[in-house]
A and B are shown apart, each in its own frame.
Chain A
Amino acid sequence: MMIRLLVSISLLAAAVWGQAPARGTITGTVFDAANGLPIPLITIEVNGMTDGRQQTGTDGKFTIQLSPGKYKLRFTGSNHLEASIEDVEVVAGQVVEASTVMQQKGAVTTVEVSEKVGAVQSTAESILQERKLASNTSDSISKDDIKGSTASDAAGALEKVTGVSIVDNGYVFVRGLGERYSSTMLNNAVIPTTEPERRVVPLDLFPASLIDNIKVLKTYSPDLPGEFSGGLVQLQTVEFPTAPTFQVSVNYGFNSQTTFNRFAGQLGGARDFFGVDDGTRGLPSVIPNDKRLFQGNFSESQIQQFGRAFSNNYQPNYTDSMRPQQSYSVSGGTSIGKWGFVGALTFANTPQRTPQLQRFLVNSGGGKPAIFSDYSDFNVDTIGARLGGVLNAAYRFNPNNKLVFRNTLTRDSDQETRVIRGLNGGNGQEIESTRLRWVERQLVSTGVEGDHAFANLGNSVLHWQFTYSSSKRDEPDLRETIRGREPGSKEPYTYINLPESGFRFFNNLNDKIYEPQADWTKPFYRGKVSGIFRVGFRGTVRRRDFDGRRFRYFPIRAGTIDFTKPTNEILGSNNIRSDGFAIREVTRGTDKYAAEMDVYGGYAMADIALGPKWRVVGGMRYEDANILVTTNDPLVPGSVPTQAMLSNRDPLPAISLIYQKTARQNIRFGYGRTVNRPDFRELSPFEFTNVVGGYSTVGNPDLQRATIDNFDARWEWFLGGNQVIAASYFYKKFSNPIEQTYRPTASELRQSFINVGGANNQGLELELRKNLGFVSKKLAPFSVQSNFTFVNSDVNILDSQKAILTSLNRPLVGQSRFIYNAIAEWLYPKLRSNARFYLNSVSRRITDVGTFRLPDVYQERTTFVDFVYQVNLDEKGKWNIRFSGENLTDNRYWYTQSTFVVRDFKIGRTFTIGTSYSFF
């Protein structure tokens, strides 16, 4: 479910160190016009002068400090035609960006540059510039875009990207393909997920203020890990400032159905507000870890003692008036000598009430659906607490050699208190189910990387990187109890012994990735043919441990217990006795698995400009992947280890052809082969019910990897500045894709995974970013951005599934046919103000595949309208105030199956006021 949170957007606005002499800064990146790579070792002359040290670094960046005034910059390099930028205005205490592109000498036959290359003015523009030159088809979102939006995290920011929709609060669907076909990299390293049931890390884990930019690569090239098809999301944390910065921000948000409303919370620990459980929910210390609580392992009195050790805390703790959402952040950066530092810290606490309706249908005969369970009073109250920090440092030995250390920590917690009331079809009575849940997630990524340019090795550049990432997820003490009464009765609910009642579940996951990588890039120039040659290596060594323990209070004899008493009393320690309740461990042999995956990939590729118009990028990657998943809890008697082993060596070729119609227009064609490997969880027979009352999910150790052939075409027209028009077509053909399947038992449906014959996916994307000044001068402060995606997919249903699945011809689960985004922006420097207006609309999509002649479940169209207004209170933009309204139409989330509404809720409008102050 998409519950969008509001957190601060801190602005890493550049400002000059106060005490410095009244100088200004010019900074920028120099890109190669043919391949889009930053060019190192380019000399920059200022007004015709150079001290020889003003050169671009290995990242193509340069920074020059100058007295106020207008300057002309001239760029020269041994293999590139010179370029220049005129009238660069330096203002004391400010930073002006002057990025440019340079043509390779061999690429231009006649020296006739028809269009003057201008300086790139903003980060949004430079991101666009990068996209124009990139060898991949990509879409991206810059710091500016994130800052100007209501997005509080990476997931919210990505919602505005072409072809991207966000499902379930943090998982990206790119071009209608689910998380299975996307992967996420943080600072160019693969990161582990914090979710045992998911393949990729949820993007709402990354606060917006830690992010510099997000790119969604939609086509594969051999220098990337070969495991994606829809999109590869690349997150880059905050970059080094060119001048010292320090900024704080504070935001408060008011949700129309949460703030100041009655709210179900939990009696937890002292540090719950910060999202850290202080041990209150931990497994009691007397519970042994080396033995399971089975009869036979312990005496009855010992088991009674264990049963009494757990807290008897099963009921929600209500607050009459809930506090507003709040968020705080601090960020800063500076350079000291050859060192550069940047850091950010952010914290948010976001309560959200979501009262809803949920229903489950049944086939009442002949495929006619009827309501089975009717939970008309389904309340979920959550408090999200998110803490994030980034600390990056760089050491520049000289422009040609640089070391960067990047550290990212994010952690968040979700406190979910769920109270469901309504008719339960399983036992034919009205139930009241109360569930208290707490999930803590943490991701740490730390890496070191180096860049070295070798002028004497043909200007080649070596990039190396080593990253260690670790993710943890802890879900301590999930507690559920159920009370019931006869349908239509007005009696109070009494405790009932349904199997979920008195249930407690503890589980945790540790996932680690060690990732060394290196790339060596060498440019070459041979008359009309020039380009780069690149080889590289990446090893992704991943380890995961998961284990869980399940307990249930089971009534041995009911006669002596008064089930009308409050639950905390019924399960209180004085009722844990031989003629009352006993605790039982119901941990299963499959509740523990260890997994390892080693992927070693090497590649060689070339990026060749064939004359001024054509560019070919192609190469081959070879990936050797070994996966081993062992599921077994040796402490459970009779548990037999299950091993899943996969070993594949895949050649993964890619080629793309770029035709530069004019200096501003590109036409691209691409082909690439990628793979999709089963996730650890999909290979483990561990069984888990994601949503109680929903399907349980069990892995399949026999899964094989799938291969995908991807075809792409795109036309793009860069209109200068932050303006673009683009159209793309894609077609993907899947061989042996892994799809969800259903295995029915008499009492339930198990969801599992299977390699199916094939699937196809194709679609169209249109994008426009345009300033409206061309219509009328009066409209110059206005610009619009809009994108539209149309996707069509079909899945081949296996014969063995035809008896169970209702629709034999359907789109991929989660794929919307249309995704539409529009942003209208108003920039009014006179009032130091800007405003943005957002519209996001996603058409209906399948959320659950229908079985047993019940139709598929669709989530109906969602439409969001957001508004942001920002004003700077002073000329320099040090003090900023921001108002936003999110979900202004209070979108109705509703899900239908046949003619029934099976789920229905709203999340309320959220109004936020925030301020940020830059000290310098």
Chain B
Amino acid sequence: MAPVPSSPKPTPPTTNRRSGPASPCGCGPTNTSTLRQDNQDGKRYYLPSAGETATDIFNRSASDGYQTTALPNAEKEILVGEGGRVASVALSLFEDYGMHTIIAQIRDRTGTRVLKSAYFKFGIVRGTEQLPNIISSNRTLTNDRAYRISGIVQVTNNAVLTVQPGTFIIGTPGSQPPSVLLVTTTGRLMAEGTRSRPIIMTSSQPFGQRQRGDWGGLIMLGKARLNDPSGSLFIEGLPDSPDNRYGGDDDNHNCGSLRYVRVEFAGSLLRPNEETNSFTWGGCGKATKAEYLQATYGLDDSFEWFGGNNDAKYLVGTYGADDYIDTQIGYRGRIQYVVGVANSDLSNRGIEADNYERDFAARPLGKSFMYNFTFVGNAHLGSASRGYDEADAPCIYTRRGAGGIYNNMLCYNWTTRTYGGADFASIEPNMANGDYSISGVVSWDNGRNVTPTPRANTIEDQVLPAFLPYAQNAARKLVFANPNLRRPLEYSDPDFRPRLGSPVLRTGWTLSPDDGFFDQFADYAGAFNLVDWTEEWTVFIQEQDIKP
């Protein structure tokens, strides 16, 4: 069996040094430590660096009682790059199957207080198993194995596919139809990871060679309402078959539950014009759960909804080639806490919301409720990164009769501008009757390198002229001020939380409805206040940074 890669989260040094750089808190020398956590039993093992004697953070070697790990067990396999190496560190085998984490910590000089941690998730498995193309009876994927997808794997015939926390599912590049995990309207997926043991769906390629579109992605289809007159549609990017249809009249349809799931390097080109998204929901209903999800390096949209009304919370989209949040065909769900981050590779829109492309006035109206989104773009990188995928790539882009509530957004350094769209006349009636509303947008430095005239931080420059009169209404609460985030542009290790005094922490934002879904304490713009809810289960590493 060839070693199979996982996804990394090493950050600064993964070696164990007695003294490191000046501490971030400015309170004197710090210690760095690297440890492995067995996520099955929670035990922690501190690691030596290559060529050094193994010591723990208190400089105790094995003879002093430091627990070294002897791992000559050839039955096991480490889910890392070729040769079992991550960066320059050779890893050995560990005794327990399942997910393990390498944690690099910066601690204060006493070694007791953790100032910052970096996490690298990997799995120890018995082997890789190919999933059949049809899963028609209940099945559980256990985390002592990795699972390979080649072509379409569909969950159908009332089967429930359960995925244990810490399980790796890897997609094969090049297959056509692309390798996708497709939950049809008659199947259900229960993929509930945990913060320490997320479920990772990724590429089978070695580190450094993984690319967007290596495999297809995750598609969930349900029978909730769409606004296509035929009531049901085929999903984008896949061949026609009744199993690929979605849409109906059950707004309570349950497509399953996703928690702590990462989808990486997805979005196979089905053909020019059609790519699969990292996460796709088509006609999923209210009973569907989705929270703590990350799409990284997606070739198409990070998260896309085709109709339906399922809710989602805590979404991370990183380094996607297309839009981060895309809704169409009458999506009516609620979304809170989204962060979308573009790097120097590619860039497009933050939100792209349509009602329906083929009938702008189709009903039910596509009206989603979106609160607390943070978008951090790549405008500082200059003209090369703009006009790239679509020349008009604002942070919030609405068109084709869109409805929707877009509140408490943060758009920082986005590609071309803050707010725009198309087909204004088709949106206007929705604005008039309250089915479309924007309130609370902190905007800064968007389109700052647009040529020939960089866009200024003014409403006239930041809003497409057709939408300007609407945006100028005070009720829109557009604020042009530096959000003063901690480390928003530090790729591979960003921090999107606001510093003290940030304008996102002002009062007066429009509160989300107290309907049991929305957090009421989120009285700020953007997705973060004090808590970094992306910690541990996500990955922000840029692929080029870990290229061997």
Alpha-carbon distance A685/B388, docked complex (angstroms)? 33
Q: Are B176 and A852 in contact (CB under 8 A)?
A: no
- Out of A563, A588, A633, name the residue touching B388 (CB < 8 Å): A563
Q: Are A295 and B270 in contact (CB under 8 A)?
A: no
Q: Are B384 and A562 in contact (CB under 8 A)?
A: yes
Residues of B within 8 A of A587 (CB): 176
Q: Are B173 and A296 in contact (CB under 8 A)?
A: yes
Q: Are A588 and B176 in contact (CB under 8 A)?
A: yes
Of the A-B pairs whose beta carbons lie under 8 Å apart in the complex, a sample of 15, sorted by A's number, is A364-B360, A366-B359, A499-B273, A500-B273, A552-B272, A558-B388, A562-B384, A563-B387, A579-B544, A585-B174, A587-B176, A588-B176, A746-B236, A747-B236, A852-B229
How near does chain A come to B343, taking the closest CB pair, in angstroms? 8
Residues 355-391 (chain B) with a chain A CB within 8 angstroms:
357-361, 381, 383-385, 387-391
Q: Are B174 and A746 in contact (CB under 8 A)?
A: no
Q: Is B392 an interface residue (CB 8 A)?
A: yes
Q: Is B230 an interface residue (CB 8 A)?
A: yes
Alpha-carbon distance A500/B150, docked complex (angstroms)? 25
Residue with the highest number of chain B CB atoms closer than 10 Å, among A562, A633, A685, A852 = A852
Q: Is A429 an interface residue (CB 8 A)?
A: yes
How near does chain A come to B211, taking the closest CB pair, in angstroms? 6
Q: Are B392 and A296 in contact (CB under 8 A)?
A: no
Q: Is A283 an interface residue (CB 8 A)?
A: no
Q: Is B193 an interface residue (CB 8 A)?
A: no
Q: Is A543 an interface residue (CB 8 A)?
A: no
Q: Are B151 and A640 in contact (CB under 8 A)?
A: yes
Q: A residues engaging B (CB < 8 A)?
A: 292, 294-297, 300, 362-367, 370, 425, 427-429, 484-487, 489, 491, 494, 496-500, 503, 550, 552, 554-564, 578-579, 582, 584-590, 633, 636-640, 685, 687, 689, 698, 743-748, 750, 752, 800, 803-804, 851-853
Alpha-carbon distance A589/B152, docked complex (angstroms)? 12
Alpha-carbon distance A687/B357, docked complex (angstroms)? 22
Residues 283-302 (chain B) with a chain A CB within 8 angstroms:
none
Q: Are B177 and A638 in contact (CB under 8 A)?
A: yes
Alpha-carbon distance A486/B393, docked complex (angstroms)? 10
Q: Is B532 an interface residue (CB 8 A)?
A: no
Residues of B within 8 A of A295 (CB): 173-174, 205, 209, 211, 214
Residues 207-225 (chain B) with a chain A CB within 8 angstroms:
209, 211, 213-214
How near does chain A come to B207, taking the closest CB pair, in angstroms? 12
Q: Are A590 and B399 in contact (CB under 8 A)?
A: no
Q: Are B239 and A590 in contact (CB under 8 A)?
A: yes
Q: Is B128 an interface residue (CB 8 A)?
A: no
Alpha-carbon distance A586/B425, docked complex (angstroms)? 38
How near does chain B come to A622, taking the closest CB pair, in angstroms? 36
Q: Are A496 and B174 in contact (CB under 8 A)?
A: no
Known contacts being A556-B211, A636-B176, is A563 close to B384, with CB within 8 Å? yes
Residues of A within 8 A of B66 (CB): none
How near does chain A come to B360, taking the closest CB pair, in angstroms? 4
Alpha-carbon distance A496/B388, docked complex (angstroms)? 5
Q: Are A804 and B174 in contact (CB under 8 A)?
A: no
Interface of B is mostly: loop
How near does chain A come to B539, taking the closest CB pair, in angstroms? 18
Residues of B within 8 A of A494 (CB): 387, 391
Alpha-carbon distance A563/B416, docked complex (angstroms)? 16
Known contacts being A429-B390, A500-B273, A556-B211, is A746 close to B544, with CB within 8 Å? no
Residue with the highest number of chain A CB atoms closer than 10 Å, among B152, B177, B387 = B387
Q: Are B390 and A557 in contact (CB under 8 A)?
A: no
Q: Are B387 and A485 in contact (CB under 8 A)?
A: yes
Residues of B within 8 A of A579 (CB): 544
- Out of A491, A550, A744, name the residue touching B272 (CB < 8 Å): A550
How near does chain A come to B266, taking the closest CB pair, in angstroms? 14
Known contacts being A363-B358, A744-B234, A745-B236, is A557 close to B345, with CB within 8 Å? yes
Residues of A within 8 A of B357 (CB): 362, 746-747
Alpha-carbon distance A366/B270, docked complex (angstroms)? 32
Q: Is B179 an interface residue (CB 8 A)?
A: yes
- Out of A557, A563, A745, name the residue touching B344 (CB < 8 Å): A557
How near does chain B come to A568, taking the closest CB pair, in angstroms? 18
Q: B residues engaging A (CB < 8 A)?
A: 133, 150-152, 172-179, 204-205, 209, 211, 213-214, 228-231, 233-237, 239-240, 269-275, 282, 306, 321, 328-329, 344-347, 357-361, 381, 383-385, 387-392, 399-401, 416, 422-423, 425-426, 451-452, 544, 547
Q: Are B176 and A639 in contact (CB under 8 A)?
A: yes
Residues of B within 8 A of A586 (CB): 176, 269-272
How near does chain B come to A173, taking the closest CB pair, in angstroms? 29
Q: Are B177 and A558 in contact (CB under 8 A)?
A: no
Residues of A within 8 A of B179 (CB): 638
Q: Are B177 and A365 in contact (CB under 8 A)?
A: no
Alpha-carbon distance A425/B421, docked complex (angstroms)? 11
Residues of B within 8 A of A852 (CB): 229, 358-359
Q: Are B229 and A638 in contact (CB under 8 A)?
A: no
Q: Are B359 and A365 in contact (CB under 8 A)?
A: yes
Q: Are B360 and A363 in contact (CB under 8 A)?
A: yes
How near does chain A come to B334, taking the closest CB pair, in angstroms? 21
Q: Are B390 and A744 in contact (CB under 8 A)?
A: no
The 6 closest A-B pairs by CB, nearest first: A638-B151, A294-B174, A365-B361, A638-B175, A559-B344, A803-B230
Residues of B within 8 A of A752 (CB): 240
Q: Are A637 and B269 in contact (CB under 8 A)?
A: no
Alpha-carbon distance A561/B388, docked complex (angstroms)? 10
Known contacts being A296-B205, A364-B426, A365-B360, is A803 close to B381, with CB within 8 Å? no
Alpha-carbon distance A54/B331, docked complex (angstroms)? 87
How near does chain A come to B181, taking the closest CB pair, in angstroms? 13
Residues of B within 8 A of A485 (CB): 387, 391
Alpha-carbon distance A685/B233, docked complex (angstroms)? 18
Q: Are A499 and B274 in contact (CB under 8 A)?
A: yes
How near does chain B come to A66, taking the closest CB pair, in angstroms? 70
Alpha-carbon distance A243/B235, docked complex (angstroms)? 68
Alpha-carbon distance A838/B511, docked complex (angstroms)? 76
Known contacts being A428-B399, A558-B388, A561-B384, is A292 close to B230, with CB within 8 Å? no
Q: Are A589 and B177 in contact (CB under 8 A)?
A: yes
Residues of A within 8 A of B214 (CB): 295
Residues of A within 8 A of B236 (CB): 745-748
Residues of B within 8 A of A559 (CB): 344-345, 381, 384-385
Alpha-carbon distance A92/B150, docked complex (angstroms)? 81
Residue with the highest number of chain A CB atoms closer than 10 Å, among B133, B357, B452 = B357
Residues of B within 8 A of A564 (CB): 383
- Out of B175, B176, B384, name the residue touching A560 (CB < 8 Å): B384
Alpha-carbon distance A851/B387, docked complex (angstroms)? 32
How near does chain A come to B369, taking the closest CB pair, in angstroms? 21
Known contacts being A559-B384, A640-B133, is A362 close to B240, with CB within 8 Å? no
Residue of A nearest to B239 (CB): A685
Known contacts being A552-B269, A746-B329, is A486 close to B391, with CB within 8 Å? yes
Residue of B nearest to A431 (CB): B391
Q: Are A557 and B328 in contact (CB under 8 A)?
A: no
Alpha-carbon distance A641/B547, docked complex (angstroms)? 37
Residues of A within 8 A of B390 (CB): 427-429, 484, 496, 498
How near does chain B come to A334, taking the closest CB pair, in angstroms? 55
Residues of B within 8 A of A300 (CB): 209
Q: Are B229 and A803 in contact (CB under 8 A)?
A: yes
Known contacts being A499-B275, A747-B236, is A637 close to B387, with CB within 8 Å? no
Q: Are A638 and B359 in contact (CB under 8 A)?
A: no
Known contacts being A297-B174, A743-B240, is A362 close to B358, with CB within 8 Å? yes
Residue of A nearest to B387 (CB): A494
Alpha-carbon distance A373/B544, docked complex (angstroms)? 38
Alpha-carbon distance A297/B388, docked complex (angstroms)? 29
How near does chain A come to B373, taking the closest CB pair, in angstroms? 21
Q: Are B345 and A296 in contact (CB under 8 A)?
A: no
Known contacts being A362-B357, A484-B391, is A747 close to B345, with CB within 8 Å? no
How near does chain B come to A575, taking the closest CB pair, in angstroms? 12
Residues of B within 8 A of A362 (CB): 357-358, 360, 400
Residue of A nearest to B268 (CB): A586
- Out of B175, B237, B346, B451, name the residue touching A497 (CB < 8 Å): B346
